[in-house]
Structure formats: structure tokens, C-alpha cells
Structure 1
Amino acid sequence: MGRFIEGYDRSQSLLLPACVDDYVLEEALVRVVDAFVETLDLTALGFERTVSAATGRPGYHPGDMLRLYIWGYLNQMRSSRQLERSCRRDLEAIWLMRRMTPDYRTIAAFRHNNPEAIIRTGAAFINFCRETGLVTPG
């Protein structure tokens, strides 16, 4: 029998914790999504809850939810349950959400509460991609 490449022992601890950023390529589209959302004025676009409430449980920032939604759309994931799973399994989603894992109801509520703002943002993202040469008109 020949030799095979062996993986690491899953139960072995690391001396230095791995940085999730090291696993996402510099040219990955997820970084474009992150940079794009960072430039947006979410209040002007009409997103709800852009200012956190003084009382109650803190919610997810609409920018984080928007990042997840755009990334999911680009990866053909429309289901909030698929997006929830991706936040636990997919390194790009884990990186994008900074290890936050919203449940599917929260993701669905964001989509339900911000339909017009999401449509406007989607159009702006397409224009951004065209202007930067990421996609060609056609």
C-alpha cells in the first residue's frame, strides 16, 4: 500500500488559534460584498432598526444581515434556513458574519421588514459591480 496525506487530529488543540481571515482568499467576492455594504447609508436606503434600542435584547445590525442576504443571493441561497446553516458551516459566511449565527426566523424577519430597501440595495450592488468591472453589462 502507498502512503497518503494525512489530516490533523481533530481533537488536538492549537497553540495559536486559527484566524478565519486566513481562510478567505483576498480576491473572494465575499470581501467585495463586505466592502460594498460598509459604504452604504442604511438609514437613507430605508432599512429598519439602524439605531439600536436603549432597552431590550440587542438585535443584529442591519448591515450584517444585508451582507448575509447579498452573499446568499450571489451563492444562490434564498432560503433563510440555508443561510442559517451557512453561518455555521461555510467559512466565507462565518468570516462575513464575524462568527455570528442568526437563526432563520431573524433572517426571514429582516427580509420581510425591509423589502424595498433590499431591492434598492440590490440595484446599487449591480451598478457597483459594473462600475468596478466585476461584471460586464449584458
Structure 2
Amino acid sequence: MLLLPACVDDYVGPDNVVRFIEAFVESLDLTAAGFERARPKVTGRPRYDPTDMLKLYIYGYLNRVRSSRCLEVETHRNLEVIWLMRQLRPDFKTIADFRRDTKTAFRKVFREFGSCAVALICLAVS
């Protein structure tokens, strides 16, 4: 008999912030935002989807987890991150390389995320 729910989705409530992060990132056009490698190549080993990596960084930004090594640890132990990343576990080097390669696009997306979050908070308060 299990003491814990069998599905990770059972641990993430409908009003959890990771669901907002998921909806926000899924609504973005990453190619237009400046993520050059948003489309994977047909040859070689496929990379992590930029939407997944962006979700991880936004989660880290909101929770003051900036280090790529700490973000890697979160993908192994934090149920919210496990749900958000769909149980993907990139290593710290992959996480750091993604940040380095998409630094300019990050700024645009984080600015838009901040505006969207402020608008959502204003609606909730009204």
C-alpha cells in the first residue's frame, strides 16, 4: 500500500506558481524571443527543449536559486521542479551553457514575465 500519491501531479496544486510558469513559457514564441536554437537539429543527440530550460530558470529566479549546480539539485529533490521539468534532469553544465548561450533572449523574456506577473497580481487584488 502506498502512503504517497502515485502521480507527481497530485503534489502540485491548481494554484501553484509552477502552473503559471508552465502556462507563461508555453505561450511564448521562443524563436521570436531570440532563442536561436529553439528548433532542434535532425541529426545527433537531441538537446533539452528550450522551453523546459527556460521554465527551470524562471523557477530559480522566483525562488532565488541562481546557481546552475543548485538548479540541478532542485531537479532531483524538489517536487515542484520535477513536475515543471516533467522529470527531466539536466546536469549543471547543460544548465549553465543554456544560460550563457541565450543571455540576451533571457533579458527579454524575464522582462515580459515580470510585466505579466504584475498584471496578474493587480487582477487578483482587484
The TM-score with structure 2 as length reference comes to 0.91
The 2-side partners of 1:25 and 1:75 are apart by 17
Q: Which moved more, 1:17-26 or 1:101-110?
A: 17-26
Aligned to 2:76: 88
SS of equivalent residue, structure 2 residue 121: coil
Instruction: Give the CA RMSD over aligned residues.
Output: 1.7
Structure number with larger C-alpha Rg: 1
The 1-side partners of 2:32 and 2:102 are apart by 13
The 2-side partners of 1:117 and 1:39 are apart by 15
The 2-side partners of 1:42 and 1:78 are apart by 21
The 2-side partners of 1:90 and 1:134 are apart by 29
The aligned amino acid for 1:105 is K
Aligned to 2:38: 50
CA offsets, 1:67-103, max 9 Å, x none? 0000011010000000000000000000000000000
The 2-side partners of 1:99 and 1:66 are apart by 15
Give, in angstroms, the shift of residue 49 of structure 1: 1.3
More helix by share: 2
Give, in angstroms, the shift of residue 22 of structure 1: 0.4
The 1-side partners of 2:58 and 2:90 are apart by 15
Give, in angstroms, the shift of residue 26 of structure 1: 1.2
The aligned amino acid for 2:119 is E
Q: Given the superposition, is the C-alpha separation of residues 62 and 135 from structure 1 closer, same or farther in structure 2, using an over 3 Å criterion? A: farther
Query: Is 1:60 aligned to 2:51, yes or no?
Result: no
Which aligned pairs between 1:1-138 and structure 2 lie closer than 5 A? 14=2, 18-133=6-121
Q: Which runs of 5+ in 1 are unaligned?
A: 1-12
Give, in angstroms, the shift of residue 130 of structure 1: 1.5
Give, in angstroms, the shift of residue 48 of structure 1: 2.6
8 Å contact kept, 1:48–1:113 = no
Give, in angstroms, the shift of residue 134 of structure 1: 6.1
